Copies of this chain bind each other. A is one copy, B any other.
């Protein structure tokens, strides 16, 4: 555990996200998981099923982050081009991974056998290791600092579960939330001043309109739980001082 900030990027691969057909769930899922590992999700890109787009994004994102995760495009059909594209980005050939082949053979023994299409899911960029998952036969792939995962959220979740505790990170970010029935513009100066008074803390302001009333939740984030508590207490006191009710844990 160190003081330096560890960062990750996520590359979401898939026409179904860009067409609006599928609502992405992996950004929030990965972000939440990374927080616990002490790794900050620094940037996300969503690209189409296009090798050029994937290669460009992979090479930029893996170079400037400690880790790069990808989701999507590792299934058995013709539009699943993630493995080939990442191999191209890394300048290595694609090979069939013996252990992946064995996993798929076992998995499909009672499911109609290992067809050519299914065997596509045993292909990895040369040098890749497997990220096993308990949800489906097809494994994810780990090569260098790149982690190649499924697009289906519950399968991606199972792959993250396999990786839990295995990645080096820093201090996890902790957060606390309070809510207030106030328009954020009425307390903008107060928020800024409280944030400035607490070094190492970031305050996010998230307004909403609910049941005919304007309100906002204020989220305080830091790596030190004591800093979060002190800042929350100060913010609560200052909102109280303006005569407003504050709701612990947010509205």
Contact = CB atoms under 8 A, between A and B. Distances in A.
Interface of A: 12, 15-25, 27-32, 34-35, 40-48, 53, 75-79, 111-112, 115-118, 120-121, 152, 173, 175, 183-186, 188-189, 191-192, 195, 202-209, 212, 214, 219, 221
Which of A117, A186, A202 has the most chain B CB atoms inside 10 A of its CB?
Answer: A117
Contacts of A30: 20
Contacts of A77: 184-185, 188, 191-192, 205
Nearest to A193: B78
A17 to B, nearest CB: 7
Contacts of A21: 175, 204, 206, 219
Contact of A41 (B18, B24, B35, B42): B18
Given A27-B46, A43-B47, A117-B188, A22 B206 contact: yes
Given A15-B202, A20-B31, A28-B23, A45 B48 contact: no
B17 A27 contact: yes
B31 A221 contact: no
B15 A35 contact: no
A207 B19 CA distance: 17
Contacts of A15: 202, 204, 221
Given A43-B46, A219-B21, A16 B204 contact: yes
B35 A43 contact: no
Contacts of A42: 18, 48
B186 A112 contact: yes
Contacts of A111: 183
A79 B192 CA distance: 8
Contacts of A46: 27, 43-45
Contacts of A40: 18
Nearest to A10: B46
24 contacts: A12-B44, A17-B28, A18-B27, A18-B41, A18-B42, A19-B31, A19-B35, A19-B219, A19-B221, A20-B29, A20-B31, A24-B24, A27-B46, A43-B45, A43-B46, A43-B53, A45-B46, A76-B184, A77-B205, A78-B192, A79-B202, A79-B205, A112-B183, A115-B185
A15 B202 CA distance: 10
Given A19-B219, A79-B205, 12 more contacts: A18-B27, A21-B204, A21-B206, A23-B27, A76-B184, A77-B185, A77-B205, A78-B192, A118-B185, A120-B188, A209-B209, A209-B212
